[in-house]
Structure 1
């Protein structure tokens, strides 16, 4: 199945033609999915006509969607050049993870107790991630990973912080996809998730927070190694 077909499957299957606002929302989700699925790479130009054709939309909602994604930090814009997928510098990448650490630690500390059913659901998702990883289904594993994390974060009463963490994650979707191309990284994600779940099941938020920091902390250094292993994408590595 082509990348364009996958995008159409993964975006809202309702017709985008119902309203101008609906078409813009559809375009935002569709373009973001192209970035997440590495159809559009960091640093790559985003051509309005190509995206409009891919999503079966007119240029007007595409233009508005591009402006929204620029304001959210997903795209860059340069006058007389246009939009490109945001390519983080090494310093920016480090800052993203500093922000994640500060905000996610706050969420982890504030978590109420998890029920046995919630823990079973999280372990089930982690099992699905393991299977996807063994099958080298990077897109499915990445999406399940995000679902897993936000099932935890959204237990926190700090809903504004959760929303900001979601925005920050959006800036690095494609980079996490790169990370999961490494089989060793896929295995570590699953094992580290189990350690976090053991702590949550025991009601030990401090241990869960420490395990989450270990889980998150190895990504920036591993990303540099992964870019070197992906020669076709080597020009897209953080500067």
Structure 2
């Protein structure tokens, strides 16, 4: 990861954050949601530390990372930034679960009992429970991670027994859809499942859906946390990935 960005790039990040925040606020109003009911997760994978610092100094606190070692390195390098919050949103390999359990505040991509158990057992003593979301495969794609909606209740019950995890909600990354109506249709069963879960447990308050291409549909469908990267930081350079 490159260590530096230009002053102009820093200014651009601040302006981009403001623009994305305005867009979210406008969609909240358009879809008659409660003001400030949707959090912005800045997806910072492959981006240099200086870009994250620029976003932090512009007021952003929650950052999402997809690659374990990159996430850990950034967490350690930016530990001096008070209130910064690290969300792991990528696939989890068993041999990397300890690093995630030791450093992250949130994990959005819990999709197997084995991973949930490892994160629970590897969460260090003295740290608060790890906030987790269950990733749900709502498009039925074999190539996508996530539990089927039919398996959700069993996964919820399993996680509820793990003292070092705190179930906060659901996450999904659906297949691209042709239009807004189709996006909402795909999200509808997940939204209903989230509503039912949140009725039974007051700690379940997070529906992590929505990216740049489907922000409007996600917010209409009850999203409480949207994941935006390129619109804030610019195009990603995967050659720079740690």
TM superposition score normalised by structure 1? 0.27
Q: Name the structure with the higher helix share.
A: 1
Larger radius of gyration: 1
| Bigger strand fraction | 2
